[in-house]
Amino acid sequence: MRGLNVPSFYKIMVFKEKVNKLLSEALSERPSLFLIDVTITDAFKVIVTLDDDNGVVLQDCIDVSRAIESNLDREEQDFSLEVASVGVGSPLKIVRQYKKNIGRTLIVTTNTEKIEAELVDANEDFIILSWKAREPKKVGKGKETVQKEQQIPYTEIKEAIVTVTF
């Protein structure tokens, strides 16, 4: 806690608790909406990132923002608030995001390889990817197309991004 006096530290902790409580209440009223990240800086800047099983709409962000902002007193503590949805191309962070993207193509980076493949399943421990690859024939010359499938534990995933095709 060096460099930060105790009253300031206490003030930040109380503010964070209050924001997290208000955020939990707002999300409990919208079961398909879920939290990806919340950052609260020492300068009292609040950044909330949301996702939804069916996609976040602007009204979701407005509703959550209002639920937080209307229950905080700017006279007591000045703050800034930003509520947004995850962006296209943002890495997947939680299991629920993987589950909602089953059937879509991901680019998954592990410690040893980078795979672009369809996400065919996701559970609490790992994902399963499926893709076609060209490999040498087992008999004779040339290559053949084979279906590949790989199970990857979340602990081995460095980054996973949904690819967007137009």
**Alpha carbon distance 57, 23 (integer Å):** 17
Q: Where is the domain boundary, 57, 85, 113? A: 85
Cβ contact 68:81 at 8 Å: yes
Question: Is 1 part of any domain?
Answer: no
Q: Domain residues for 100?
A: 95-162
Please write the tens of the pLDDT for every residue from 59-118: 999 999 999 999 999 898 999 999 999 988 899 999 999 999 999 999 999 999 999 999
Cβ contact 40:15 at 8 Å: yes
Strands 80-85 and 45-52, how do they pair? parallel
Question: Is 140 part of any domain?
Answer: yes
Cβ contacts of 127 within 8 Å, gap of 6 or more: 98, 108, 119, 121, 151, 152, 154, 157, 160
pTM: 0.81
Cβ contact 64:56 at 8 Å: no
In DSSP notation, 1-28 reads -TTS-HHHHHHHHHHHHHHHHHHHHHHH
**Domains contained in the chain, number:** 2
**Alpha carbon distance 27, 135 (integer Å):** 48
Please write the tens of the pLDDT for every residue from 31-74: 999 999 999 998 999 999 999 998 899 999 999 999 999 999 98
Q: Is the pLDDT of residue 157 over 70?
A: yes
Q: Where is the domain boundary, 61, 85, 109? A: 85
